Chain A
Amino acid sequence: METVARISHTSALILQTIRAGYIYGFDIMDVTGLPSGTIYPALRRLENESLLRGDWEDSKIALRQDRPPRRYYKLTRQGKDALISAVERYPLLARLAPEEKVARR
């Protein structure tokens, strides 16, 4: 039997923001207005529950530009399913969702 993760409103908002193209911690924080103390633990939990996947930026690119690499997040298939289910449960989530953004890398 296929299971769909049950997520909180905050988690759903974060998933929605990532789907809109805001894919790293600061960007998500900037868009949602949630504090860093909420965003990062939520990202860890969602990653632990396999709803998100975090990948490090290619270190060569970062090294060439003399800056530290960043960690980018993207939704997994379970994450997308969980978000669809959450949008059904939280109809107002669609109104809070940020506009789509072209991922800046």
Chain B
Amino acid sequence: MQANPQIRLLIWQCKFLLRGASLLVPKPQRAAWYQEWFGEVWHWLHFLAESGRLNSHTCVELARHCWGAFPDAAWHRFDHKKVSRAFDETPRTARFCLSAILFALLSLILVTGLAPTIRSGFKPLPFQQPDRLAYVSMHGSFTKYDEENLFREAAKWAESSKTAEMVAAYSWHPVSLKFPNDRVSDISARVSPNFFDLLGNKAAMGRLFTPADETNCAGCVVITHRLWEAQFNSDRNVVGKTISVDDHPGSVIGVLPESFVFIFPEVSVWMLPGWGTTTNNFADRTGAVLRMAPHVSLAQAQQEFRQFAQAGGYSQPQMESFVSRAHQGVKLYLFFTVLSLFGGIALGSSRLGGAKTRKLKLSFRHTLRWWGFFSLKTLLLLALCFVGSLEFTGRVSIILTGSVHPLVGPFATWLFLVTAMVALSWSLHDQGRRCRFCLRRLGNEASVGTPGYLLLDWWGTELVCSDGHGLLHVPEMKSSWQEFDQWVSLDESWKPLFEHEETVHTP
């Protein structure tokens, strides 16, 4: 039979759709499936052509018919009963639980731009001999300090110190930066003229401050690589250009290297003390950095500088070696994670130590799986809390106040501790509601007993493993602190109850 070109084209289009849909059909049934659909389409098309009803409207109808091949093909591939069962069962599995937490963690890392705060903690410190550096801060006090006083004191300490080769003071605060086409809120730092010299940094472009600048170049400004890229479009001729800081004009004398970070990465403009006077009421916003003399230990320097600071009127001065905050954070995370794991295992063991569960004989493999899953789940959850706490608190502070608030550090620590406790509690609760053998989350909750007969009978909830490994009895009201949820293993004779029927028939 010779078909006209229009029918041939339509058949070719339908064949294309049907072939595409047939890829969903399992291979053994594919040929028969395609044959049936093609037969239907072929007959329909010829019927339309022979009866003179082949028009744009019926062509659309035909196309709609062909698209129907996709749900039909999908039916072959994914039996709806199996699919609905998978939807119900998959979220109960241990693998799904771990994947969901891992997905949340990876999403969080991606959303924060690959966790820059944590990453910066693993980079080598961008200073010369960082092990010889230390900083003095005045934690734990909300006394208002005059910044000028600290700059003067730092110069005096440098002269009289026997443990430090150089001392430089710093202070930082939020500022408003004005550019020809933009105005942004950012953070600036005022530093002693020997600050960069002390750290051993060199400029990526132009030059950094020298002691002579204090008198000759009071309006000099050093900018970070980030600001140079963002506001000066990486202009090679940036040196000499003006920048307005809190409506005071300044002149750019140099750009810092890309790797330079001091205290935190948000500081983008560096100025000399002569820029203006600000009284800071937060101890974290002012401090001094020093380079220890050779063969001087941190303890010796601490003793000397504590005396200096107290003599200068600073209460509770604190001196630390120059490790990054992220390193401290990682230490905190590791410490709390180990503590949580041991605590969790101890708590979990006692919960599983109920009278009924003691009779439960778990093989070594099952025990290993049980605790391995708990440990991995808890580790991932704690990592999620850690990344969230560390990365978001700084950002939220910048959004709300335009700067990294001094309380961000302690707040991040507290936030991590609180979220970690919530995560650990959930991890323990989730573990207790899982099958001791297959680690699936138990389901089919059934309320058993009568509340009024509590003294005569047991009252609580029973949860079942969908694979029939056992039952968990959860008492509604615990009669003693030693009463725990009770696990009852089901033997093989119970198996037929848990087999999944494919068809449902009514008697």
Does A49 make an interface contact (CB < 8 A)? yes
Query: Given A37-B67, A67-B42: A6 and B72 within 8 A (CB)?
Result: no
Q: How many Å lie between the Cα of A70 and that of B66 in the bound state?
A: 16
Please state if B43 and A37 are interface contacts (CB–CB under 8 Å): no
Question: Could you say which of B67, B71, B505 contacts A41, with CB atoms under 8 Å apart?
Answer: B71
Is B44's CB within 8 Å of the partner chain A?
Answer: yes
Q: Report chain A residues within 8 Å CB of B1.
A: 66-67
Q: Which residues of A contact B70 (CB under 8 A)?
A: 37
Complex CA–CA separation, A2 to B39 (angstroms): 37
Known: A3-B506, A66-B1. Contact between A40 and B68, CB under 8 A? yes
Contacts of A4 in B (CB 8 A): 505-506
Q: Nearest chain A CB to B212's CB is how many angstroms away?
A: 82
A79 to B72, CA, bound (A): 21
Interface flag for B40 (CB, 8 Å): yes
Interface flag for B36 (CB, 8 Å)? yes
A25 interface residue per 8 A CB criterion: yes
Q: Which residues of A contact B43 (CB under 8 A)?
A: 26, 67-68, 70
User: Chain B: which residue is nearest A68 at the CB level?
Assistant: B39
Count of residues in A whose CB is under 8 Å from the partner chain: 26
Closest B residue by C-beta to A59: B35
Is A68 touching B507 in the complex (CB atoms < 8 A)? no
Q: What residues of chain A lie closer than 8 Å to B506, measured between beta carbons?
A: 3-4, 6
Interface residues on B, range: 20 to 34
A68 and B35 form a contact (CB under 8 A): yes
Q: Is A29 part of the contact surface with B, judged by Cβ < 8 Å? A: yes
Say yes or no for A10: interface residue by CB 8 A criterion.
no
List, in ascending order, chain A residues with CB within 8 A of B67's CB.
36-37
Contact A25 B40 (CB under 8 A): yes
Bitwise, B48-78 to A at CB < 8 A (1) or not (0) is: 0000000000000000111111111001100
On chain A, the residues within 8 Å of B65 by CB distance are 26, 29, 35-36
The residues of B that contact A71 with a CB separation of less than 8 Å are 35-36, 39
Most chain A Cβ neighbours within 10 Å, of B69, B70, B75, B76: B75
On whether the beta carbons of B35 and A36 are closer than 8 Å, the reply is no
Q: Are B507 and A1 touching (Cβ within 8 A)?
A: yes
State in angstroms the CA–CA spacing of A67 and B503 once bound together: 37
In the bound complex, CA of A7 to CA of B505 (Å): 9
A45 to B38, CA, bound (A): 20
Grouping DSSP codes into helix (H, G, I), strand (E, B) and loop, the B interface class, with mixed when no group exceeds half, is helix
Alpha-carbon gap, A1 to B505, bound state (A)? 11
Q: From residue B104, how far is it (CB to closest CB) to chain A in Å?
A: 35
Q: Is B110 an interface residue (CB 8 A)?
A: no
- Write the chain B residue with the least CB distance to A45: B75
Residues facing B in A16-62 (CB within 8 A) are 24-26, 29, 35-41, 44-45, 48-49
* Complex contacts, B38 vs chain A, CB 8 Å: 68
Shortest Cβ gap from A22 to chain B (Å): 13
- Is residue B230 contacting chain A, with contact meaning CB distance below 8 A? no
- Distance in angstroms from A14 CB to nearest chain B CB is 14
Cβ of B111 < 8 Å from any Cβ of A? no
Question: How far is A41 from B76 in the complex, measured between Cα atoms in Å?
Answer: 8
Q: Are A40 and B72 in contact (CB under 8 A)?
A: yes
Within 8 A of B (CB), among A60-101: 66-71
A3 to B44, CA, bound (A): 38
Does A70 contact B64, Cβ atoms closer than 8 Å? no
Q: What's the least CB distance linking B210 to chain A, in Å?
A: 78
Q: Do B505 and A37 touch across chains, with their CB atoms under 8 A apart?
A: no
Residue numbers in B under 8 Å from A40 (CB-CB): 37, 68-69, 71-72, 75
B75 touches A3 (CB 8 A): no
Q: Which residues of A contact B505 (CB under 8 A)?
A: 3-6
Supposing A4-B506, A37-B67 touch, asked if A68 and B72 sit within 8 A by C-beta, the answer is: no
- Residue pair A36, B69 in contact (C-beta under 8 Å): yes
* Contact indicator A35/B42 (Cβ below 8 Å): no
Contacts of A67 in B (CB 8 A): 1, 42-43, 46
Q: Which residues of A contact B36 (CB under 8 A)?
A: 25, 70-71
- Cross-chain contact of A70 among B40, B72, B75, B507 (Cβ < 8 A): B40
Kindly state whether residue B504 has any CB partner on chain A within 8 Å: yes
Contact pick for A3, options B37, B72, B507, CB 8 Å: B507
Q: Whole-angstrom distance between the alpha carbons of A89 and B37 in the complex?
A: 32
For A65, the closest partner residue in chain B by CB is B1
A-B contact pairs, 14 of them (CB 8 A): A25-B36, A26-B65, A29-B65, A36-B69, A37-B68, A38-B71, A39-B68, A40-B72, A41-B72, A49-B503, A67-B42, A68-B35, A69-B35, A71-B35
* Chain B residues in the interface with A (C-beta under 8 A): 1, 35-40, 42-44, 46, 64-72, 75-76, 503-507
